[in-house]
Amino acid sequence: MNPPNGDHADRAVLVRECFDRGVRECIRCLVTESVIAEHAARPLGPHSDALARVLTFLRRAPVEDKFVVVTIQPD
């Protein structure tokens, strides 16, 4: 017997939240002083695998609890 649509949707949300938590944790581990320095030195690339993954994560569509990069000083 298939679960009602509400139960299926709730389960999909739970799976997505679990996946997002795991991705955020992996990305958080990739953000190091060397990755930050690499981006400062070559913001347009080429990028290492770690920096490319961080940038891809930060460019995702707006999601709740998304990290934000803010420039406080020009250039």
Per-residue pLDDT tens digits for 21-51: 899 899 999 999 999 999 999 999 999 999 9
Structural domain harbouring 28? 5-58
Query: Is 38:48 a contact under the CB 8 Å cutoff?
Result: yes
Assess if residue 29 is contained within a domain: yes
pLDDT of residue 69: 75
What pLDDT score does 2 carry?
55
Q: In this predicted structure, what is the pLDDT of residue 49?
A: 95
How many domains is the chain partitioned into structurally? Answer: 1
Closest by CA position to 64, among listed 10, 9, 8, 21? 21
pLDDT greater than 60 at residue 1: no
Distances (CA, A) of 32 to 1, 9, 52, 67: 49, 37, 13, 15
This prediction's pTM = 0.65
- Token pair of 49, please? 């695998």
Round to whole Å and give the CA distance between 31 and 42. Answer: 16
- Domain annotation covers residue 54: yes
DSSP reduced 3-state for 73: coil
Whether residue 67 is contained in a domain is answered as no
Residue 5 has pLDDT above 70, yes or no: no
Q: What is the pLDDT of residue 65?
A: 74
Task: Answer whether residue 75 is part of any domain.
Answer: no
